[in-house]
Chain A
Amino acid sequence: MIENLQLGIETAVSPENLLWCFIGVLLGTIIGLLPGLGSATGVAILLPVTLTFEPVTALIMLAGIYYGSQYGASTSSILISTPGDSSSVVLTLDGYQMARKGRAGAALALSAIASFVAAILSLIGLITLAGPIARFALNFGPAENLAVMLLGLATIVSFAGSNVLRGVTMAAAGILVSLVGVASGFSTARFTFGSANLLSGLDFIAVMIGIFAVGEVLHQIRRGGERPIRAGFRDLLVTRAELRRAAAPSLRGTGVGFATGVLPGAGATLASFIAYGIEKQVSRFRTQMGKGAPEGVAAPEAANNAAANASFIPTLALGIPGSGTTAVLLGAFVIFGLQPGPLLFEQEPRLVWGLLLSFFIGNLILLVLNLPLAPVFAQLLRIPYPYLYPFVLMMSFIGAFALGNNTFTMAVVFFAGILGYFMKRYDFPAAPFVLGMVLGPLLERSLIQTSALGDGNLLIVFESPIGAILMSAAILAFAYPLASGIIRGARNRRKEPQEVGS
């Protein structure tokens, strides 16, 4: 462990990696605060720019964009009540109310402090847990891997809320899209409809650029923009009372965020909602929540940062993305010829530990950048969006071309953009779709291997204790929300006529 940490520090503090870490978190902050450009968008459109980098440098920069955007996204939520990223939607409640009461700077400072505390605590958790989980996962055979994939998909159901059915349908649709092309392990072309371009499948990053960059930008245009509330340097002073009130919610938010972030499919957005919901129930100041309470800023902000870091645990240790953005990052690993999963820790210790240790440096840079400079960043919200979005669209398409050096990739971005726009507009969740797309090929490979191992009998997955436990957890995670929802629905329907009758 100590050796790994030393190796990680040596890698992370090399001048080149430090520079790109700084650029990554700076770009992340800017991307995060601009409405319509979330972390997944930023990673997707800037990935082509890193193609000539060393893999570790590229991943340090791309990861910096991810967690940097968690800081930046809160600024637009607080100042213009328009979330820069879905993970900061909940900040529009108390953050924006604080801003309206003239405490914009304090809200920005509180969110930066809560983010930093959560980031550091969750990074300690990440570094402590990722290695042992990866080592444990080295014992997994095809059957256990199949069980892990199914558990990953099942957790999407658990966290899909009222969109349970919609969430699972989108995950399944993502799997279907991943199956386009010549089947792995077979020579059959599937869903190609006679197109030679589709034989090698749909480029994952191109689909992500379409859904997240093009789709998000156009959705933002449809929603319209707001004028920001001014935040001055002088308002950044947080009162001692505000800090005291934010301390416990920050720690609770960190715990909730970490626990949520390690689960595939849950992600930072859900973590922030849960943390806010819990705070509304347990806080001494719950009656002030929604009216500009510091607790309503600190808890969700800590939760989304902790979740963003924790989502690297399943991504790096198991190869299963914990969120939409880590799914895009997983695509970046593949582009650099790396396969995230337990073997990565054995084969690429310099990369893994360098990346993890760079998170500490990145978060420190972010605190320094965001605490005193938040009002400066806020000025970026004054850049007219009509000049910004055409550039983002151009960058998306040309970046997609750079990935495959063919114009077909741009057509994929275009159609994925249409899909992404309608998914956003009609509230079809993108995260399960993305997770489905990532897990599809892995799931099929495990299925083929397990089927070969069991001579056609897939039930051998229950034969090993680990497989049986994971499968039981998957079945429970899948069936419980559906069954309990149906039972509650039936109970409520029975109650209603009685209430009407009484």
Chain B
Amino acid sequence: MSTPAMAPAMAAWKRHRSDLIGTAVLGTVGTIATVMGLGYGVFTEGNRVGPGFLPVVVGLFILVAAGLELGRILFAGRALSEGSVMALVEDVEQEAAEQISETRREEQRDTFGRTAKQRNWAPLYIFAVLAAALLLVDLVGLVLSFALAVAFLIIVIERRPWWVGLLATAGAVAFIVVIFKALLGIPLPSGYLGLI
């Protein structure tokens, strides 16, 4: 059961869930860095800076800053810059953001032909395709794995005509081979198949 004093914090949690999670992740990184830094040795002989000095200082700094940021989001709810010179900047930034989002609302579907919901999922699919391409590098080679990724992105993810997708992929492959292989002489791995 939440006490009345905790109510603003609960409301802030609902409003700023992603901010809070991101800041908590940073705090955790700070903690890990501090602990590991202590293991590296903060000082060496003669009280001189050791390999763990900077990790500990920076780790502690992140931990404290993340803690303060969490406190600010949960309990203060106010920007530190309110009423300052930087507030002027943020007012303009806010205005521009509203202008940009206003134009977004005017069209349900963007030029990709995606709705807002589809847009949320698209980056996830693309990251998955990129991960698959990276895993395929050893098997089919660097150029071919990314050529497959490009074709898949255009034809399957973006639902463009297959022949246009293949043409675009061929153009991209030609560009990469000419620049990196022919001009720069970089040995691009051709994988177990050894095709390109």
Contact = CB atoms under 8 A, between A and B. Distances in A.
Contacts of B127: 218, 414, 417-418, 421
Interface string B30-61: 10010011001101001111111111001101
Contact of A402 (B29, B37, B186): B186
Nearest to A436: B58
A390 B146 CA distance: 9
A264 to B, nearest CB: 17
Interface stretch (A14-22, A169-177, A364-372, A466-474): A169-177
Dominant secondary structure at the A interface? helix
B195 interface: no
Contacts of A124: none
Contact of A426 (B19, B138, B186): B19
Contact of A223 (B33, B119, B180): B119
Contacts of A191: 33, 36, 55
A395 B143 CA distance: 10
A226 B105 CA distance: 11
A81 B86 contact: no
Interface in B110-161: 110-112, 114, 116, 119-120, 122-123, 126-127, 130-131, 133-134, 137-138, 142-143, 146-147, 149-150, 153-154, 158, 160
Given A173-B62, A385-B111, A188 B53 contact: no
B110 A224 contact: yes
Centre residue among B36, B150, B160 by max chain A CB count within 10 A = B150
Contacts of B114: 224
Interface string A176-203: 1001000100101011000000000000
Interface residues of B, number: 97
A221 B149 CA distance: 16
A455 interface: yes
A325 interface: no
Nearest to A100: B103
B79 interface: yes
A162 B103 contact: no
Contacts of B96: 89-90, 92-93
Contacts of A451: 48-49
A175 B54 contact: yes
Contacts, number: 273
Nearest to A280: B92
Contacts of B51: 183, 186, 188, 190
A67 interface: no
Given A188-B40, A190-B36, A390-B150, A173 B29 contact: yes
Nearest to B165: A387
Interface of B: 18-19, 22-23, 26, 29-30, 33, 36-37, 40-41, 43, 46-55, 58-59, 61-62, 65-66, 68-69, 72, 76, 78-84, 86-93, 95-97, 99-100, 103-104, 107, 110-112, 114, 116, 119-120, 122-123, 126-127, 130-131, 133-134, 137-138, 142-143, 146-147, 149-150, 153-154, 158, 160, 164, 168, 172, 175-176, 179-180, 183-189
20 contacts: A81-B100, A161-B90, A165-B65, A169-B23, A169-B62, A172-B65, A188-B41, A219-B123, A221-B112, A222-B120, A223-B104, A224-B116, A385-B112, A394-B150, A417-B130, A426-B22, A456-B43, A481-B80, A486-B80, A489-B80
Interface of A: 48-49, 51-52, 80-83, 89-90, 92-93, 96, 159-162, 164-166, 168-170, 172-173, 175-176, 179, 183, 186, 188, 190-191, 214, 218-219, 221-227, 270, 273-274, 276-278, 280-281, 290, 384-387, 389-391, 393-395, 397-399, 401-402, 405, 407, 410-411, 414, 417-418, 421-422, 425-428, 440, 443-444, 447-448, 451-452, 455-458, 481-482, 484-486, 488-489, 492
